[in-house]
């Protein structure tokens, strides 16, 4: 079983839609849950992270962690064409793991 | 404040040659991480270094690959006797306290 599973998409939504991106993980030792955005042929950029369970909001982005079901979500409200990128979830403890990424396209 | 810098951005090597990838962390950061990204795959952790020390190299192949982060100068990821399967994007990240990682633009290695 992979440490992190992420639906690769691709996901295509109209501008203004709410986007839901999800990951599952297997290691209950994970404590930090990061979300990165990666534009084509660029390095990943940290969007936000949470520690343990709960929600965290930053502008149009909300990260949610449910440790009981080992489920991580990132919600994007009022999606914009500039949000078109690949989104990587990255849970970690002392080990570093990344999901394969979900490719998102927001259509104007 | 410059971000993480990597060079070269593109590197072409023939099979059997050596590849040296360099990473300069953000100013004030003493933790460096190297990752490999293959097409359609996620980032795979390779090695975690602090100044002059390898902290975790569990993701790095035992043969042909080595990494260092000297007291002065950039971190170096060295791949000896490259093979076609080494073709990938290699990313370096740095952090200050070890939670948030800031990534460089990557080095794209092509092995002919």
Instruction: For residue B32, give the nearest of B68, B59, B86, B64 by alpha carbon.
Output: B68
**pLDDT score of A29:** 87
Instruction: For residue B95, give the nearest of B52, B48, B60 by alpha carbon.
Output: B48
Residue in B closest to A10 by C-alpha: B40
Q: pLDDT tens digits, chain B, 112 residues: what are they?
A: 579 999 999 999 999 999 999 999 999 899 999 999 987 778 899 999 999 899 999 999 999 999 999 999 999 999 999 999 999 999 999 998 767 889 999 999 999 9
In chain A, which residues have their Cβ closer than 8 Å to the Cβ of B105? 42-43
What does the block give as tokens for B108? 């794209």
DSSP codes joined into one string, A33-82: EEEEEE-TTS--EEEEEEESSEEEEETTEEEEEETTTTEEEEEESS--GG
3-class DSSP string for chain B: CCCCEEECCEEEECCCCCEEEEEECCCCCCEEEEEEECCCCCEEEEEEEECCEEEECCCCCCCCEEEECCCCCCEEEEECCCCHHHCEEEEEEEECCCCCCEECCCEEEEEC
**pLDDT score of B1:** 54
SS3 A83: helix
In chain B, which residues have their Cβ closer than 8 Å to the Cβ of A36? 103
In chain A, which residues have their Cβ closer than 8 Å to the Cβ of B91? 43-44
CA distance A79 to chain B (A): 24
Q: Do A88 and B100 touch (CB under 8 A)?
A: no
**pLDDT score of B96:** 85
Size of interface A-B (CB pairs under 8 A): 50
CA distance B13 to B17: 6
Beta-sheet pairing, A102-107 with A11-14? parallel
**pLDDT score of A65:** 94
Give pLDDT < 70 ranges for chain A. 1
**pLDDT score of B108:** 96
H or E element in which residue A105 lies: strand A102-107
């Amino acid at each position: 079983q992979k440490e992190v599973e992420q639906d690769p998409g691709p996901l295509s939504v109209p501008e203004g839609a709410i986007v839901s991106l999800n990951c599952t993980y297997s290691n209950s030792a994970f404590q930090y849950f990061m979300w990165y955005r990666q534009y084509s042929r660029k390095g990943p950029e940290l969007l936000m992270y949470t520690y343990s369970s709960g929600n965290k909001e930053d502008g149009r982005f909300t990260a949610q962690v449910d440790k009981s079901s080992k489920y991580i979500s990132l919600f994007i409200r009022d999606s914009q064409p500039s949000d078109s990128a690949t989104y990587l979830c990255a849970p970690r403890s002392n080990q570093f793991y990344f999901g394969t990424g979900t490719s998102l396209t927001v259509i104007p | 404040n410059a971000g993480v810098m990597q060079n070269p951005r593109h590197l072409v090597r023939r099979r059997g040659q050596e590849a040296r990838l360099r990473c300069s962390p953000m100013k004030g950061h003493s933790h460096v991480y190297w990752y490999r990204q293959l097409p359609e795959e996620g980032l795979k952790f390779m090695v975690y270094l602090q100044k002059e020390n390898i902290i975790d190299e569990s993701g790095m192949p035992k043969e042909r690959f080595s990494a260092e982060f000297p007291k002065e100068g950039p971190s170096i990821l060295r791949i000896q006797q490259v093979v076609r399967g080494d073709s990938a994007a290699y990313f370096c990240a740095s952090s200050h306290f070890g939670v948030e990682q800031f990534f460089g633009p990557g080095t794209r290695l092509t092995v002919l």
